[in-house]
Structure 1
């Protein structure tokens, strides 16, 4: 027999058991031959019953599918029906109702917050548009656009490229000076 090294928690050394001693032990010595035959007989009967039940079940399943086919019930229609029932059951559950109410309340609050934000932004844009600096900027843009239009109308070719429009706008802006060297042709040009 071999012994292994003793560990810290092992109170005694562990020894290997002889295999011959283990094979000599008969585990069935508690049962008589009659009891054994009775159990084997019962086991055989159970296996036969299980086999019969499987055959009956297979026959019933076949009949079941034939009846469904006659009624026009397909696996897809069954799936839809099961899904609809599950969906209905979920919607009527307490958890779903509470969650739905919570989300509805959150949606209403979010909608109100966006409405308030939109009103505030609109008011700020209105205030900004009425400010003197914005009005001055707006007038300058209007004058520049008006000058570009007049320059384009006065040109021979009509349309022109984007570069030509930009250069004419730069030319018109260069002509804007405090001495107002531009010829007066309309009331709008006088204010530019």
Structure 2
């Protein structure tokens, strides 16, 4: 007798059996002729019952389809009803409720963070706008715009807008940082 390679689920090595041993064992010897006929008869009856049940089931399915057709229930309507039922079942599930609550909490926290961030940015812009350097810059811009308006209005079409803009820029560039504070009050009076 030879042994085969052991498989993953085999607890013990499998041995091959000689063909002579198989022919010596007759499995039909355990049944008598009467028992064999009885089993064949029972098998025939079961096959007939299965055939009858298939016919009855086909008849019932046909009647089922006819009743649905009379009620106007189409496959699309059935699909919608099944989908709605499944959606409802999902929404009432514990996992969905927990996920929904978690996302809601996360959304509220995110909203609070953005609100706090927006408030902080607004406060910083307000502080920056009230700073002396921004005020000085704002005054320079206002004076430059005022000077441009004055020059354009007084020249009455004698000079182009580009010429007035370049002369105002040239005048602003000639101002020195030390003169800015003393001149800013002069500019306020002239602007």
TM-score for the superposition, normalised by structure 1: 0.68
Structure 1 residues 116, 143: CA separation in 2 closer, same or farther (over 3 Å shift)? same
* Offset from partner CA, 1:43-82 (integer Å, 9 cap, x none): 1111111111111111111111111111111111111112
Partner Cα separation in structure 1 for residue 90 and residue 9 of structure 2:
57
Query: How many residues are matched?
Result: 191
Give 1:30 deviation, angstroms.
1.2
Structure 2 gaps of 5+ residues are none
More helix by share: 2
Asked if 2 retains the 8 angstrom alpha-carbon contact of 1:4 and 1:14, the reply is yes
Asked if 2 retains the 8 angstrom alpha-carbon contact of 1:128 and 1:134, the reply is yes
Asked if 2 retains the 8 angstrom alpha-carbon contact of 1:68 and 1:74, the reply is yes
Asked if 1 retains the 8 angstrom alpha-carbon contact of 2:139 and 2:184, the reply is no
Asked if 2 retains the 8 angstrom alpha-carbon contact of 1:175 and 1:181, the reply is no
* Offset from partner CA, 1:98-132 (integer Å, 9 cap, x none): 33333323322222222122111111111111111
Structure 1 residues 190, 102: CA separation in 2 closer, same or farther (over 3 Å shift)? same
Asked if 2 retains the 8 angstrom alpha-carbon contact of 1:3 and 1:13, the reply is yes
Give 1:187 deviation, angstroms.
8.8
Asked if 2 retains the 8 angstrom alpha-carbon contact of 1:147 and 1:169, the reply is yes
Structure 1 residues 189, 10: CA separation in 2 closer, same or farther (over 3 Å shift)? closer
The aligned residue for residue 186 of structure 1 is: 185
Give 1:169 deviation, angstroms.
7.3
Asked if 2 retains the 8 angstrom alpha-carbon contact of 1:3 and 1:16, the reply is yes
Deviates more, 1:93-102 or 1:108-117: 93-102
Deviates more, 1:107-116 or 1:121-130: 107-116
Secondary structure, counterpart of 2:30 in structure 1: coil
Give 1:162 deviation, angstroms.
12
* Offset from partner CA, 1:11-48 (integer Å, 9 cap, x none): 99998543233233212221112111111111111111
Partner Cα separation in structure 1 for residue 68 and residue 187 of structure 2:
86
Partner Cα separation in structure 2 for residue 10 and residue 76 of structure 1:
51
